[in-house]
Every structure is written in structure tokens, then in C-alpha cells.
Structure 1
Amino acid sequence: MHDLDDLADYEASARQHTPWRRVLALFRPHVRALLIVLGLIVIAGIAGATAPFMMRGIIDDALPARDATLLVWLCGGLVGVAVLSAIAGVLQAYVSTHIGQQLMHELRVTLYEHLQSLSLAFFATARTGEVQSRMSSDIAGLQSLFTNTATDVARNVSVALTTVVAMILLDWRLALASLAFMPILLWLNNRVAALRERITFQQQERIADMSATVTESLSAGGFILGRTMGRAHHLVRLFRQTSSDVARLELRSHTAGQWEIAIIMFALDILPALTFFIGGLMLAQGSGVSIGTLVALIALQEQLLWPMLELFEARVELRKARALLTRVFGTLDTKPTLVEPANPVEVDANGVRGEIVFEDVSFSYPASERQTLDHVALRIPAGTHTAIVGSTGSGKSTLGYLLARLYDPDSGRVTLDGIDLKDLSFETLSHILGVVTQDPFLLNASVDENLRFAKPDASSAEIEQALKIAQLWEKVAGLPKGIQTEVGERGYQFSGGERQRLSLARTILRNPRVLLLDEATSALDPQTENALSAALSARHNRTVVSIAHRLSTVRHADQIVVLEEGRVVEMGSHDQLIATNGRYRQLATIG
């Protein structure tokens, strides 16, 4: 039943996302090169269609008359046609392959750029392997369409049309007899194409599942989880089942419709015998068919055979490609939930004061049955340290997501120096706001490369200063390779606290006016954390917002905001909140 539901969704998606005019639009920037390809195809097709007429001349005229001169000219013509066809074929293959690779490149970049424009909500629900499957497996599956199939179809159509015209000019009666069963073959071919298209869609879905399994289970975190939970054998069984499904669908993809294909092949194979039979009867009755005409017609049928077979196969490949295009265009048609303003407000990042205001902000996640934030009103003065605390699920991290504009409020607004965050470009906001999370993401590269990801033109002195503020300089300087030390996959060569400090140093390197710390020091020991807090506090021009579970980390904050069930229930300094004997004191007692 699940497969049937998937196929129903696919059919609807295919109708919505993959009109072939969208594919043709991809070729539009390459019109000039396409015209060259089509010209070469037409030249090769016409050249090939003239050869049988020369053969008829040799059989009916030159040989019976023993005319050596005519024989030389006609044989030379056959050689010339062969040379012309070969040259046109080589040039056409080169130009069409160049076009195909350009299209592949443009489609990959377009898809990657679009994925970069999507919102956190998309990546929070999409599997990493699914996204990677779109970028690799689906795009790679279109390689044949853009580099071979499209031009092959044009070439084969040209050859087929010129050949059919030549057959009709030779003898229209034999031509019609030869082509009479083509509609039946086209119907059979369409059945095979539709069947393989559906199988290809299922196949790509399972390939995405397999990619997701590999990505999740063979990452450093996935390996640790599988090993420590004793689930390695389970993961192997899961992968074996998924791989088995892929192999089964691959087999079906190549073997489905074999009886229909066998019938098509049989019909095309007996075509010469049928032509000889009908032509022989006509020749015996004196119906105006010469032996040369009959031989030339058989040659044209042989010339028509391979283009027709390739067109039949291309029809199957085009339907299979539609399944891939449905997935790719489906992703391209995914609308970002966050968009940049058409005319963003121009702000000098160095002139930002850093006052943040949440004005009656409410927000809920799509899968949530309740509001995560409920009419939150909060002012964070510029140049101060504000701590957000509360029990698990109170909405602390969500408040940070809204400040970083990873989500937009359902109602209300968040302002920076009186400017709605929605009116700022993403680039401008990234220069003003720095974010460090509890589980920082580090590139599998050197310490230096990780830091320069934030500021490529940073000087050695700036990098050293950022590492000192993050209390990491002595550690890095003492490594054998110093800042050129590789951090490993997701930074697993370093401890949790070192990863957090390296991520913090990367953000500090940008010198943002507003710094958001979401449990960013949770893995630090008290001594390092105090030193880090002192270093951050020394920069009085920076607004710091820290989200914390450990209340010991926020005692010295200028303002502490207590959230419960998405509402601000208390606000004040540590001493003020302890004195009120409210929720903060309860949390402090528990802590």
C-alpha cells in the first residue's frame, strides 16, 4: 500500500513539476550550439539517405551497362557520403557532449544554490541522505539525457524522417507496407516506457533511503551511537535490506517489459523478409519494381532499423528521466519559508548599537500542538549581557532561532535598533549577529581553515586574538602543527569544550555587535568558563545574549529572563530574582 501511495504522489508530482517545456528551457541559453548540432544531424541524415539511390544506380544502371565511369562516380559518391557522415558524427558528438556537460553543471549549481536559499525548517525535516541523493544520484542519472539521449533523439528522428522520405520516393507501396505495423510497435513501446518510469521513481526513493542510512550511520556521531548501543549488526541488516531493495528494483528496471521489447525486435527483424516477399510478388507480376529498387529499399530498411530501435529505447529513457526530473524539479519548486526583502534596509554593521526588542512575539512549529512562544515581549538593551533561562521545552532556543532569523514569528516582530529583522538582508544580519551553538559544526579541515571560513582575509594577529579570547590559544599553539592541525570529522579530534571554544573563536573573528550563545559553554569547566566570560565582558560595545541551563554561567548577566511554556515569567538580575523567591530561585535550587 505504501508503494501505491508513493506512486500516486509521484504521478501528481510529475504532472505538476515536469512539463517538458521546463526541460527545453534549460537548453535555451545554448541555442546557437544546438543549431550547429541540428545542422550536422541533418547533413548526416541527408547523406545517409542518398546512399541507397547510388546503390540502385550501380545495380540497375552501371553494372548491366558495364559503364566503368558511372561505376567509379557512384562508388566514389558512396565513399564521400561515408566520409561526410563520419565527420559530421564526430563534430556532432563533441558539440552535444559539451552542451550536455554545461547543462549538468548549470543544473547542479542551480539546485545547490536553491538548497542554500531554503530555510532551517526544510533541513530540520529533510534527511541528509535525501538531500545528497538529489545532488548526486538524481543529477548523475540525468547525465545520459543531457549528453546523449537528447541529441540522439534529434539525430535518429532526422535519419528516420529522411529514410522514410527516401523509401517513399523509391516505391510508396513497399514503403507503406513496411511502415504499416509501426503504430502497434509505438503502443508497445509506450507501455514499457511507462512501466520503467514508475520503477525508476521507486528505485530512486530507495537509493535515497540507502544514502541516508550511510550518511547517518557512518558519520562519527552515528558510529559512536551504533557502537555504544550495540546496534552495529542491526544497522548492517538495515543496510542489507535497503541494498537488496535497490538491487531488486535495478533488476526490474532493466528487465521490465522484455516481452514487449521482444515483439518489437521480432517485427523489425522480419521486415526485410516481408519486403522481399511483397517485392518479389510485385516483380513477378511486372508491377514496376526493379531489383535495384528492391535492394535499395532493403538497405533503407536496415538504415531505418537502428534509429527506430534507438528511438524506442530513448522513449523509455526519457520516461525514466522524467522520474528523476520530477524529484529534482520538486526540490527546485520548494519555496523557502524565509525570504529576503526586495529592498533591504542598508545598515552599517560598525554603527549598530545592538538593542534587541521582541514585540508581542508568538511562534509555533508546524508539528507542535501548542505555541512554543506565546506573546513574548522583551527588550535587550544595547551593550548588555542578557541571559535566557528556563526548564527544558520552555522556548529558549526558539527565541534564539528568531533572533538569528532562522525562523520568522507567526505574529509580532523582532527588531534590531528599531529595524525589523525581516527588513535586513541575510548578509547584513550575518555581519551584525554571531551565533555559537551547543553542538558546533566544524569543517573537516585545519583550525586555520575553520577560522577563516568566518573571515577569509583575517590576519594572523586577528586569529591569535580570537583564539585567546576563546581561551584556546595555548592549546592550539602547543600542537605539533599549530593552527594547521586538522580537526577531523565534525571536530572529533578535539574535546567537546575545545570544539565549543573553536566555534566561539570563529564567531568572535567576525567581531559581531550582537553575540548569541546557545548553550555555547556547556562543555567548559568552571575555570575556563569564568575566564571566557571575563574576556567577553571586556568588550562593552557588544550585546551578548546567552541561553543556558547551568545558572552558574549567568549569575553576572546584566539581565536574566526566565521563560516557562513560551512566556516570560520573570526578569531581573540574579540577586533580584533570588530575592523574589519565584521560578528562578526554584531553578537555582535545583541546579
Structure 2
Amino acid sequence: MDTTQTHREGRGGAPRTVSAAEKTQARAVSLRRIGRLFTAYRGQLAVVTAIIVVSSMVAMASPFLLRAVIDRALPERDLTLLVWLVVGMIAVAAVTAVLGVAQTWISTRVGQLVMHRLRTDVFAHLHRQSIAFFTRTRTGEVQSRITNDIGGMQAVVTSTATSIASNLTTVVATLVAMVALSWRLTLVSLVVLPPAIWLTRRVAAMRREITAQRQRELADLNVTIEEGLSISGVQLSKTLGAGGALIDRFTTSSARLVDLELRSELAGRWRMATMTIIFAAIPAVIYLGAGLPGTAGTLSIGTLVAFTALQGGLFRPLMGLLNVGVTLTASLALFARIFEYLDLPVEVDDPARPVPLDPTRVRGHLRVEDVTFSYPGSDTAAVAGISLDVPAGTSLALVGETGSGKSTLAALVSRLHDPDAGRITIDGVDLRDLRLTDLAAVVGVVSQETYLLHTTIRENLRYARPDATDAQLADAARAAQIHDLIAALPDGYDTVVGSRGHRFSGGEKQRLAIARTLLRDPRVLVLDEATSALDTETERAVQRAFDTLAEGRTVITIAHRLSTVRHADQIAVLDHGRIVESGTHETLVARAGRYATLAT
């Protein structure tokens, strides 16, 4: 049985298939789980509920005051009674207004706190995800969930609970008052309920499906913005002349959003128009019934006016209750997308009982013991049966052709992934037994793709060590041979590096990354092809910085240019995830094996 259905075009106009699980995930969301979001604010919600009940009860005095004005004060020309009744009406309005402000403040605060918790919980949980999650997730999808999806839930989170309480209390109080005035007319008024409920269920189901489609479309739009308007994306589109196609893709996605919004709004408007007609007909029916021969004279004018006022006032809270049902049902698609991220298992996490580690006392003895690892969905091991022993303070070079497993092994050492078999230890402690923050303080990584934040040089360096002083920043920059260049800039360390550091050359960015790593002072250093994209002269400058960085540390270097690793204490040659040779530069050249072939 086919479990997918094509319902719209995806990126670039290609059909996008939606899985059966994706189509039904909104129905799987538990209302109890949504309710648990408000558990910590039970006391405040109780206060809001009490305010709502009091406000509704006070408001119900108005129709009885109106009846007294019409049936007694005006016919009897009782000015004193009339004044007191008018004062009572004004007092009712004032009290309900003040209570309404208090209710709005408390309920909005609770809603915003719930939104804050959702945002931070999703952000924190996603930050704990492994690199594998981000490699298989589209760029912009994560941002869309945190901004668009949680933002779309705001109305539900901030007002649903209080809206239900307020409208339900008002409906009950109004019905009680209507029954007190005339139970027969109340029965006539309630004929509106069956069609209202039927229409609401139809609209709710429609909006739920439209909301799910809209959020997926917004995610696609966010992806297009992220990929198309980043500095790298703009450069790519300009050099390939793909700007027109990119704009067309964005325009098509935006047009689909217009269609979805129109469908959603029209569904609600048709329902509202139908209900407005029905509610408008009810008073006319009541007037007709009051004038029929069998009922004429049984109701006073004041009772009739007060009842129709109550019946008219029933429209707003009743529709409010029904609208809450529509909004909540439609928002289940949003909750499903957020809970889907919150329920993601953390593949690389802190251990339940971490081994305490003082980074300042770590020697840096690294061992790789029979390690095997495969990427998810791959039948071939990226590394298989790897064993290495790197004594503290020594250097290891990993060489081999592209795809031989060098970078995978480096990622395992920094615990971006966990091995499927075997273990990696530092000073005899399995990396999986260490807190991730402790491991990050021990293992430093400088890769070929240097990432700089779009902020100042100072803040980029302090990203590694927020408490670093200006003197420590300068010392690290000097060791990385970048201080003089920074000092020569008009704004010095306050110079903004630009998006992804594009204001600086590759060698300059690399030396900034070295300075940033120096601030953490790691005992184990991983250099993942950190100079492969540099010209020869820049490479020499960066290599001098690396030599400074490597002093007294255990260093793992991955390089294509064997000239940068010839002085390593040991060299391991990888091929298809396995070590085929190991030794020093001289011994490996003398063997005339794979290393000697790479060196020629």
C-alpha cells in the first residue's frame, strides 16, 4: 500500500510527497500533553478563572437592570430608582472593564512564559542533537520550526485557556439568565447550536489540513531565503546566473502561501456569515412568537427586550467557544511539528554518571581501540577496526585518499559521532563517559571550513572563552600571527568580520580560528585539513601558527599535502576506512608502499 501522497510541488517545482505519518501527525498530538505546558502556572490560571467567573456574574446584572428600567422606573416615573439603575449599569461596565484588564495581563503573561519555554526547550534540545541530524535536515527547516511554527502557536498558547473559561462562563451565565426570564424562549434560541457545531467541525478539519500545508510551505520558503540570501548562496547564484530561477522558486512558493491563506480565511468567513444569518433570525422568531395569539400578553416588554439583549449577547461567547475549537484543532499541526523535534532522541549526549575531569590536569594520551563506525543509512563502514596509540605530547598524521575515513576518525575523536564498536579514550577515560563540555575543553578542532560569527573579532574570539581578557585575546592573536593585522585595522578588535568571515582571506580566517582555539588551551588538538585550501605562502604563515599551537599538545593532523606531516611522530595511512600502513615518514618512504605512492 502506498503510504505517500503528492499534494503540492516541492522545491524547484518538483512534486513533494508527504508521508502518511506526516499527514496524520496532528491527530497524534495529545491534548493532555498540550495542557501540561500550563502545569507550572496553575495558580495564575486559577486567579484568571476566578476573575472571569466574577466578571461574568457581574455582567449578567445588566439585562435585569435594563428590565427594571423599562418595566418599573420609566412607567412609574421613579427618578430615584432610575438614577440608581443607571449608576448600577455604569458600575457593571466599569467593574467588568477593570477585571478584563487584569485578566488580560495575567493570561498574556502566562502565555508568553509558555512560549518562551517552548522556544528555549526546542533550541536547547536541537543544540544537543548530533551532527548527523543537521546533515540530514534542510538548511532553514530548523529556523522555520522555531520561528514560524512556534510563532503561529502564539494565539493558541496565550489565549486559549482563558478564552475557553471566559466564553464558557459567559455562555452558562447567559443561559441561566435567559432561563430565568423565559425557559420557552430559551429553547427557541438554542436551535442554533446543532448547525453551529456541525459547521465548526467541518471548518476545523479543513483548517487543520491547511495549517499543516502552510507550515510546510513556510519551511520551504525559509529554506529558499536561507540558501539564496546567504553570502555563499548569493555568490553561487551570481556566478552561475541562477538568480532568475531562484526568484521564480521563491515566487512560486509565496504564491502557494497566498492560496493556502485564502482557503483558510474563506472557510472561516463562510461559517461566520452563515452563523450571523442564523443568529439574526432568532430575535425575529422570538418577536414573532411573542406576538402569536397563544403567547401574546404573557411576556412584559421589559422581559422581551432583556431576553433579546441576552440572546444577542450569547452570539459572541458562543462563537468564541466554537472558534477556540477551530483554532485549537488547526494548531494541532503546529504542536505536532514542535513535539516532533522535542521527541527527537539525542544520539550523542552526556552520560548518566559522568567521570569527573579537570581539563588542566589532562595529559592528552589518546587511544583508539578497534573502532568501527558507519553513517546512518550506509551499508559500508566509514572506519573499520581502527586502533591507534598516541602518547601525550606526540603527533599523529592521518593521510589517505578522499573518502578513506580520515575526517570521520577526527569527528569521532571530538565526539561529533559515537563509534558503533570499540572505544576512544583520553588518559584511559572513554570519551562517552565524559561531559560534552569537559571534552570540548580537552579536544580542540581547527578545520578547513572556518566558521566565524557575523560580529566583531573580539566576540568571535570570546566565543571560545567568554571570560577572556583583552590581554589574553591579544596574546592568542600574537601566537596565531594575526595580531599585527588586527591592530592595523581602523576598528582593531572591534572590526566586524562580516557574514561567515568573508571580509577576511582564507589564511586570515584560519589564523583567527587558531587564536580562538588557543584561548581554550586544549590538550588534544585536531587539525582537519586546515591548510588544504591555502596558497603556499599563506600556508607557511598558518603552519608557523600551528607549530605554536601544537607545542606541548597531542596533535592529530589530517592533510593531503604530505609536506605538512613529514615531521609527525607517527603517520597512519588509511584506505577504505582501514589502516594499511603506519610509521614515521622515513620508514614509510623506505617501504615503498601506499605512503610512498602518495608522496610522489
Cross-structure match for 1:408: 418
Q: Read off the aligned partner of 2:124 and give its amino acid letter.
A: E
- Cα separation, 2, equivalents of 1:347 and 1:90: 54
Does the Cα contact within 8 Å between 2:511 and 2:545 map onto a contact in 1?
no
Q: 1:73 is matched with which residue: 84, 89, 98? A: 84
Q: What amino acid does structure 2 have at the position aligned with 1:6?
A: V
Q: How does the TM-score come out when normalised to structure 1?
A: 0.95
Q: Matched residues in 1 for 2:235 and 2:543: separation?
A: 32
- Local SS of the residue matching 1:128: coil
The one-letter code of the counterpart of 1:434 is G
Task: Give the TM-score normalised by the residue count of structure 2.
Answer: 0.94
Residue in structure 2 matching 1:147, options 114, 135, 158? 158
| Superposition map of 1:97-246 within 5 A | 97-246=108-257
Deviation (angstroms), 1:546: 0.9
- Call closer, same or farther: CA 1:32–1:282 in 2, change over 3 Å: farther
Unaligned ranges ≥5, structure 1: none
* Correspondence for 1:341 among 351, 361, 369: 351
Q: CA deviation at 1:532?
A: 4.5
Contact 1:413–1:420 at 8 Å: present in 2 too? yes
| 1:309 alignment counterpart | 319
SS in 1 for 2:74: helix
What is the percentage of aligned positions where both structures have the same residue? 47
State the AA in 1 paired with 2:114: L
SS in 1 for 2:188: helix
Q: Secondary structure at the match of 1:270?
A: helix
Please give the alpha-carbon distance, in whole angstroms, between the structure 1 residues aligned to 2:362 and 2:213: 52
Instruction: Please point out which of 520, 538, 542 is paired with 2:530.
Output: 520
Letter in 2 for 1:517: L
- Alpha-carbon distance in 1 for matches of 2:539, 2:391: 24
Out of 358, 374, 382, the residue aligned to residue 364 of structure 1 is 374
More displaced stretch, 321-330 vs 259-268:
259-268
Assess if the C-alpha contact under 8 Å between 1:189 and 1:261 holds in 2: no
* CA distance in 2 between partners of 1:9 and 1:467 (Å): 52
Deviations 1:31-51 (A, max 9, x none): 222122112211221112121
Deviates more, 1:112-121 or 1:215-224: 112-121
Are residue 2 (structure 1) and residue 6 (structure 2) matched? yes
Which amino acid in 1 is paired with 2:50? Answer: G
Question: What's 1:460 paired with?
Answer: 470
Secondary structure of the equivalent of 1:388? Answer: strand
Secondary structure of the corresponding residue to residue 336 of structure 1: coil
The letter of the residue matching 1:201 is A
| CA–CA distance in structure 1, aligned partners of residues 406 and 284 of structure 2 | 81
The equivalent of 2:438 in structure 1 is 428
The whole-number CA distance in structure 1 between the counterparts of 2:164 and 2:156 is 10
1:478 is the counterpart of 2:488? yes
Question: Secondary structure in 1 aligned to 2:372?
Answer: strand
State the SS of the aligned residue for 2:7: helix
For the residues of structure 1 that align with 2:577 and 2:19, how far apart are their CA atoms?
41
Contact 2:511 2:542 in 1 (8 A): no
Corresponding residue for residue 320 of structure 1: 330
Query: What corresponds to 2:277 in structure 1?
Result: 266
The answer on whether the counterparts of 2:224 and 2:250 sit within 8 Å (CA) in structure 1 is: yes
Amino acid aligned to 1:225: L
Q: Does the CA contact (< 8 Å) of 2:141 and 2:222 recur in 1?
A: yes
Q: Which residue of 2 aligns with 1:438?
A: 448
Aligned to 2:14: none
Q: Alignment length, in residue pairs? A: 587
**Cα shift readout 1:476-535 (whole Å, capped 9, x = no counterpart):** 222222222211100000011111111111011111100111111223344554455455
Q: CA deviation at 1:328?
A: 1.2
Secondary structure, counterpart of 2:444 in structure 1? strand
Deviates more, 1:306-315 or 1:346-355: 306-315
Partner residue, 2:24: 12
Q: CA 1:387–1:314 in structure 2 vs 1: closer, same or farther (change >3 Å)?
A: same
Aligned to 2:306: 296
- 2:533 and 2:18 map into 1 onto residues whose CA distance is 44
Q: Residue 279 of structure 1 is aligned with which of 286, 290, 294?
A: 290
- CA deviation vs aligned residue, 1:114-152 (integer Å, no higher than 9, x gap): 111211111111123111111111121122123334322
* Counterparts of 1:270 and 1:464, CA distance in 2: 80
Q: Deviations over 1:162-195 (max 9, x none)?
A: 1011111211111112112302211111110110
The answer to whether the Cα contact below 8 Å between 1:7 and 1:198 also exists between their aligned partners in 2 is no
Q: Distance in 2 between matches of 1:206 and 1:376?
A: 45
Distance 1:289 1:462, change over 3 A: same
More off after superposition, 406-415 vs 364-373 = 364-373
Q: Does 1:508 align with 2:508?
A: no
Matches within 5 A, 1:47-62: 47-62=58-73
AA aligned to 1:329 is: F
Distance 2:207 2:63 in 1: 37
Paired residues of 2:25 and 2:333 also in contact (CA < 8 A): no
Please state how far the C-alpha of 1:359 moved relative to its aligned partner.
Answer: 1.2
Question: Residue 195 of structure 1 aligns to which amino acid in structure 2?
Answer: M
- Following TM superposition, by how much is the alpha carbon of 1:199 offset from its aligned partner in structure 2, in angstroms? 0.3
* 1:466 Cα deviation from its structure 2 partner: 1.9
Partner AA of 1:2 in structure 2: T
Does the 8 Å contact 1:529/1:553 carry over to 2?
no
Give the letter aligned to residue 397 of structure 2.
A
Secondary structure of 2:42 counterpart: helix
CA distance in 2, matches of 1:222, 1:536: 31
CA–CA distance in structure 1, aligned partners of residues 542 and 99 of structure 2: 71
Per the TM alignment, residue 320 of structure 1 is displaced from its structure 2 partner at its CA by 2.3
Select which of 380, 384, 394 maps to 1:384. 394
Match of 1:450?
A: 460
SS in 1 for 2:287: helix
The alpha-carbon distance between structure 1 residues 465 and 527, as it changes in their structure 2 partners (threshold 3 A), is farther
Unaligned stretches of 5+ residues in structure 2: 9-16
For 1:190 and 1:182, how far apart are their aligned partners in 2? 12
Matched residue type, 2:447: T
